[in-house]
Amino acid sequence: MSDHNWRLAARSLKRDIRAADVRALFVALVLAVAASTMIAFFLDRLERGLERQAGQMLGGDLVLEQRQPFDEELRTRLEQVGFVLSDQVDLVSMISRGERFQPASLKAVDDVYPHYGVSHVDRGNGTEEIASGPPPGEAWADPRLAQLIEIELGDRVQVGQTELTISGIIEREADQSGGFGNFNPRLMLNTADLEATGLVQPGARVDFELLAAGPPAALEQVQGLLAGLRRDGVDVRDVRVDRPQLGNALQRAESYLGLAGLAAVLLAGVAVAMSTRRYVERHLDTAALLRCFGASQYQLVVIFSLQLLGLALLASVVGALLGLIGQAVLLWLLVSFLPMTLPPPGIMPLWLGIFTALAVLVGFAGPTLLRIKQVSALKVLRRELDPLPPSAWLVVGVASIVFGGLLWLYSGSFPLALALLIGGAALLGLLWTISSLLLNGLLIVVQRMTGGGEWSQALRLGGKQLARRKQAGLGQLLAFSVTFFAMAMIVLVRGDLLTTWQDQLPEDAPNYFAINIQPSERDAFERVIAPRVDTQSTLYPMVRGRITAINNQAPGDVVPPDARGDGSLRRELNLTWQAELPEGNQIVAGQWFTTLSEPQGWMGAVEATPRAVDESVPISVEDGLAERLGLGVGDELTFSVGSDTITTHIESLRSLNWDSFNPNFFVIFPPGILESFGHSYITAFHLPDSEQGLIRQLVSDFPGVSLLNVDAILGQVRDVLTQVTRAVELVLALVLLAGISVLYAALTASRPVRAHESGLLRVFGAGNRMISRVQWAEYALLGFTSGLMGAALAELATAGLYLYWLDLTPRLHIGLWVILPLGGALLIGAIGHALSYSLRRQAPAASLGLIGEA
Amino acid sequence: MTILHNLSLSVVAGESVAILGKSGSGKSTLLGLLAGLDTPSDGELTLFGQPLSRLDEDGRAALRAGRVGFVFQNFQLLPTLSALENVLLPLELSPRAGENQHASQWLERVGLGERTDHLPKQLSGGEQQRVAIARAFVTDPELVFADEPTGNLDPDTGAQIIDLLFTLNREAGTTLILVTHDHALARRCGRCLRLVNGQLEPFQPAAISNGGGDE
């Protein structure tokens, strides 16, 4: 029994491929699978690749840092779960060659270094890629250090109590996590020489790092251990949490791709629902005949389910193949900026694709398909005996539940999925009501149109046709609205994403940082650079200070356990003072310092009397830091600056953009407090290519000022943006394709009814031109209304998305309200018109079914 | 609304019965009841010795499977299926060995051996009805229902279809129940009945008819 059901299903499927609705169904399913697998494959590989890259920048998958050497017990435990360990020691010390002295940031590495990646070192034969550190007895210096103490390859430098030979100039370290916390130039040496230097003494400021490389599973196993270490004040950097900021751009792009994938699945789902309707209608006759020939209800369901299942599996295979090709294309577009080989595609996304196809089929086609079961054998004698279509609520309900499930699966967040679903359902109800009103209103307007012109007559007739099939028209209106909405949203978000990226990194984004400008040099420095640079950030004064107490308690006792080893508590922070809120910063809590014009304010007091040490000073803190340390407005922070102690309270929290290539500060003081401490200035500026000579002049005029060139990093981030943009565009094309598949499916579904109508019009004497215009008008009205609805939906949804997902500021898109209705009218009008071309060529007898039953 | 009432009919195996009636007299309703496609609000029907009222929709369908053939006025061919595939359809529900060959043979017997791969829309009305007749007989049914088999055909084609139907019926020894308003067609049946006001009465069709008259 079941065996021949299979056979019958397979045969009917083979025969059915000829039918337009089955083709539409197939295309829709292929698109759903292709979109979801492509994006899943891609994100999966990108995610794993990024983790690898993050590991490279951190120096390992797990990095521990503390002020004393790590004990054997910890090493054994880490090695037991599969980690390979590497030791590293960081300290700042004076190095010298002859008469020249220079503080340098020493980094001692062992023979395992580096876990990932290579260093770019010039050992006399040009820059080479080397996957190790310097051998014992040798050291590598960065170009700045070489310049400052005038060393060349082969020279010997004094490091503590020993001498090392400079055997390489290090252009780029394998593990370089950027950051400007340490402004001293680098000297890299071997841990074997560390003891001889005599620099590692009790009480010396030495950072011991333990770098571990291992699989994610190993990382998972030691989470408990890590939590304990954090509580003990060890700085723990986990590759999955402390991913270096290659830019939020990539994260947003990932969110965007995920969103686009879902949009494509939703669109494909709508297409599936529409083609299933037509499919079922077409097969009611078959079902009735089969009932006549003795098939049971169960058999009918089995046969048609198997048939659709076969179609879904076939579509999954084709879609998955397309998805594989698509992700390869995506990667090819992106690969030049990914400094890594991505792991091969996993099998998981494939299952996801097949699952998606089945889910879409069950959710969007299921309730409609069950209608076939209800068919009565008597229909063969009495044609009008069609079973009732399933209630719209049932169809939409089941589809929503399944789509909600997919949302959950893709986003991994149940509350988000639920919220989106409930929001979507409410929106759909609203949409239905508004569509209905809108359609009615439009029809009234059309009916009132006077004038004997052929076009207005066509509009009237088209409007009437639409009105006659109001339920079906509403269904299509809904489908088109959702389609336009999804398409518009993907286009809008893309546009805003790109604009935001471009705003974030304008052409004249700073490419140099100048650090350590002494107060005495400040004016001279400004005078030299001002005429020759494009843009320059404010000159920020900078004072080093350490947080010594939070609310009068030791910081370690107050902050969340995870933050006990936080770098901001272990190292000195760069503090600055500003009267105005720096550009690009936003107050998110509290308020910025009261203005100078208030004489009774504390600043007035400062002007009048010397600062009292015990007076609490208002400060502004970066919100990310505040969140990590569990701080809020009103909390008291005590800083030690130099030999003084300053008591402060948080008056405001600021959010700022760390990717902006401008100097950013965790803590900002008001003017009048820190001036008396030793301070230097920092600034960032953009130096055009034509003015590169300025650098040489600055180095010789201001030898104490450190200049950092960030062109390379800037270029890398720009590359990321360009290429992510291309990837985004590819996905956009896919979504638009899915949208068109919906239109195709919907119009295919309504062909027979329209054929009948145009046949009737023809019988009554309408010419081809008239019929063609009436159809144009009907589709255009439909398109116009759907466009309006789509615009409203898209505007609402993008605003929500920006706020809660993509972290952008919402804005109104006026063009949308014009383009979508007009474009919709044009697009639906044109596609519908083109699709009904063959109908218009038909003799009325054929379209009215007077000849045979074809 | 009562369409048929106080109506009694029994048909024995091998018999051919014509039921005549005006449009709207309830002919199709009666046919639907006889074939178990529909159920009467009152009364009892027995098909192949089984009381239909005791069977549910699926049970009645199972009873029909392979034992009942249908020929319809509007042919009821599936437009996306070729002639051969249309004939195969009932066989696929109760499969047997060599069904393709069997179906081809039936198409040959109705004179369409050369057109097995044509879609219905590529066939004329008469040819389509031939396909339908082949489909009705392909399961070697014990009983064939024909609902106005010539209703959509011109008189000449109709006559040919009638010849074919009766020839095949005779050869196969099938019971035939035919609903029509065509007297020429009715006259070829062993027994003729007329449906008037919901009741059946014996009837002798007029000797001469062009097949177009009503009654």
pLDDT category at A385 given cuts 50, 70, 90 is low
Whether A307 contacts A523, CB under 8 Å: no
SS (H, E, C) A141-162: ECHHHHHHCCCCCCCEEEECCE
Q: Give the tokens for residue A163.
A: 């001498």
Beta strands A206-213; A84-97: pairing state: antiparallel
Q: Which residue has the higher pLDDT, A135 or A5?
A: A135
Determine the Cα–Cα distance for residues A521 and A518; give it in Å rounded to an integer: 5
Closest CA in chain A for residue B35: A292
Q: What mean pLDDT comes out for the span A722-738?
A: 71
Q: What mean pLDDT comes out for the span A577-601?
A: 75
What is the count of residue pairs from A and B with beta carbons less than 8 Å apart?
A: 96
Percentages of chain B per state (helix, strand, coil), in multiples of 5: 35, 15, 45
Determine the Cα–Cα distance for residues B136 and B169; give it in Å rounded to an integer: 10
For tokens 């068109």, the residue is A740
Determine the Cα–Cα distance for residues B176 and B189; give it in Å rounded to an integer: 8
What distances in angstroms separate CA B100 from CA A7, A304, A315, A573, B45, one per listed residue? 13, 22, 29, 86, 35
Distance to chain B for A13, nearest Cα, Å: 11
Distance to chain B for A218, nearest Cα, Å: 58
Distance of CA A519 to the CA centre of its chain: 42
Whether A42 contacts A355, CB under 8 Å: no
Q: Give the tokens for residue B84.
A: 């051969």
A positions 287-306 inside 8 Å of B (CB): 289-299
Q: What mean pLDDT comes out for the span B121-146?
A: 88
Distance to chain A for B6, nearest Cα, Å: 22
Query: Are residues B93 and A380, on separate chains, in Cβ contact within 8 Å?
Result: no
- Collapsed DSSP state (helix, strand, coil) of residue A851: coil
pLDDT at residue A135, as a whole number: 92
Beta strands A535-536; A100-109: pairing state: unpaired
Closest CA in chain A for residue B93: A295
Per-residue pLDDT for A849 more than 70? no
Task: List, in order, residues 6 or more apart from A578 with CB less than 8 Å away.
Answer: A538, A540, A668, A670, A671
Whether A616 contacts A648, CB under 8 Å: yes
Q: What mean pLDDT comes out for the span A294-309?
A: 84
pLDDT at residue A200, as a whole number: 84
Closest CA in chain B for residue A11: B85
Q: Which residue has the higher pLDDT, A421 or A624?
A: A624
Task: List, in order, residues 6 or more apart from A599 with CB less than 8 Å away.
Answer: none
Determine the Cα–Cα distance for residues A807 and B137; give it in Å rounded to an integer: 71
For residue A68, count other CB atoms closer than 10 A to its CB: 9
Phi, psi at residue B200, to the nearest 5°? -95, 135
Per-residue pLDDT for A746 more than 90? no
Q: What mean pLDDT comes out for the span A299-327?
A: 84
Per-residue pLDDT for B67 more than 50? yes
Closest CA in chain A for residue B92: A8
For residue A688, count other CB atoms closer than 10 A to its CB: 12
Of the candidates A492, A420, A421, the one whose C-alpha atom is nearest the C-alpha of residue A256 is: A492
Query: Are residues A381 and B61, on separate chains, in Cβ contact within 8 Å?
Result: no
Interface test with A, best of B92, B140, B152 (most A CBs within 10 A): B92
- Collapsed DSSP state (helix, strand, coil) of residue A571: coil
Closest CA in chain B for residue A851: B125
- Say if A564 is an interface residue toward chain B (CB within 8 Å): no
Interface test with A, best of B93, B139, B154 (most A CBs within 10 A): B93
pLDDT at residue A240, as a whole number: 65
Determine the Cα–Cα distance for residues A240 and A217; give it in Å rounded to an integer: 12
- Say if B37 is an interface residue toward chain A (CB within 8 Å): yes
Range name among A27-36, A287-296, A841-850, B108-117 with the lowest pLDDT average? A841-850
- In A511-622, where does DSSP find H-type helix? 522-529, 555-558, 567-570, 602-608
Distance to chain A for B112, nearest Cα, Å: 18
Q: Which residue has the higher pLDDT, A838 or A584?
A: A584
Whether A39 contacts A734, CB under 8 Å: no
Q: Which residue has the higher pLDDT, A423 or A165?
A: A165
User: In this structure, which amino acid lies at residue A583?
Assistant: E
Identify the bridge partners of residue A641 per DSSP, sorted by sequence position: A644
Q: Which residue has the higher pLDDT, A745 or A610?
A: A745
pLDDT at residue A167, as a whole number: 93
A positions 624-653 inside 8 Å of B (CB): none
Whether A293 contacts A78, CB under 8 Å: no
Identify the bridge partners of residue A466 per DSSP, sorted by sequence position: none
What distances in angstroms separate CA A144 from CA A217, A479, A686, A707, one per listed residue? 41, 63, 20, 9
Q: What angle do CA A433, A434, A436 make, to 5 degrees?
A: 65
pLDDT one-digit tens code per residue, A474-516: 777 887 888 888 778 777 777 777 776 666 667 777 888 888 8
Contacts of B74 in chain A (CB under 8 A): 383, 853
Contacts of A751 in chain B (CB under 8 A): none
Q: Give the tokens for residue A255.
A: 């969110």
- Say if B206 is an interface residue toward chain A (CB within 8 Å): no
The widest CA-to-CA distance across chain A, in whole angstroms, is 111
Contacts of B121 in chain A (CB under 8 A): 852, 854
Whether A741 contacts A269, CB under 8 Å: no
Q: What is the pTM of this model?
A: 0.64
Secondary element (H or E) of residue A475:
helix A470-504
Determine the Cα–Cα distance for residues A269 and A263; give it in Å rounded to an integer: 10
For residue A503, count other CB atoms closer than 10 A to its CB: 8
What is the layout of strands, in order, in the sheet containing B191-196?
B68-71, B143-147, B175-180, B16-21, B191-196, B199-202
Rg (CA), chain A: 35
- Say if A385 is an interface residue toward chain B (CB within 8 Å): no
- Collapsed DSSP state (helix, strand, coil) of residue A688: coil
pLDDT one-digit tens code per residue, A816-842: 888 888 988 888 888 877 777 766 666
pLDDT one-digit tens code per residue, B46-64: 888 888 888 887 888 888 8
Q: What angle do CA A698, A703, A705 make, to 5 degrees?
A: 75
Closest CA in chain A for residue B39: A378
Q: What angle do CA B86, B87, B90 make, to 5 degrees?
A: 95
Range name among A144-148, A424-428, A746-750, B43-47 with the lowest pLDDT average? A746-750
Task: List, in order, residues 6 or more apart from A39 with CB less than 8 Å away.
Answer: A257, A258, A260, A261, A327, A731
Phi, psi at residue A841, to the nearest 5°? -80, -15
Of the candidates A628, A695, A710, A593, the one whose C-alpha atom is nearest the C-alpha of residue A663 is: A710
Residue among B57, B80, B125 whose CB faces A18 most closely: B80
Q: For chain A, what is the mean pLDDT? A: 78
Query: Are residues A294 and B121, on separate chains, in Cβ contact within 8 Å?
Result: no
Whether A628 contacts A563, CB under 8 Å: yes
pLDDT one-digit tens code per residue, A614-630: 578 899 999 888 988 88
Beta strands B199-202; B191-196: pairing state: antiparallel
Query: Are residues B80 and A16, on separate chains, in Cβ contact within 8 Å?
Result: yes
Residue among B58, B66, B92 whose CB faces A11 most closely: B92
Q: How far apart are the first and last CA of chain A?
A: 31
Secondary element (H or E) of residue A58:
helix A20-58
- Collapsed DSSP state (helix, strand, coil) of residue A221: helix
For residue A480, count other CB atoms closer than 10 A to its CB: 27
Query: Are residues A380 and B37, on separate chains, in Cβ contact within 8 Å?
Result: yes
Query: Are residues B65 and A295, on separate chains, in Cβ contact within 8 Å?
Result: yes
Beta strands A706-709; A617-622: pairing state: unpaired
Query: Are residues A378 and B58, on separate chains, in Cβ contact within 8 Å?
Result: no
**Does the ipTM surpass 0.90?**
no
Determine the Cα–Cα distance for residues A752 and A757; give it in Å rounded to an integer: 9
Whether B176 contacts B189, CB under 8 Å: yes
Query: Are residues B28 and A19, on separate chains, in Cβ contact within 8 Å?
Result: no
- In A336-379, where does DSSP find H-type helix? 348-369
Whether B195 contacts B189, CB under 8 Å: no
- Say if B58 is an interface residue toward chain A (CB within 8 Å): yes
pLDDT category at A598 given cuts 50, 70, 90 is very low
Interface test with A, best of B47, B52, B58, B122 (most A CBs within 10 A): B58
What distances in angstroms separate CA A667 from CA A530, A560, A573, A671, B207, one per listed residue? 27, 19, 8, 13, 113
Q: What mean pLDDT comes out for the span B176-200?
A: 84
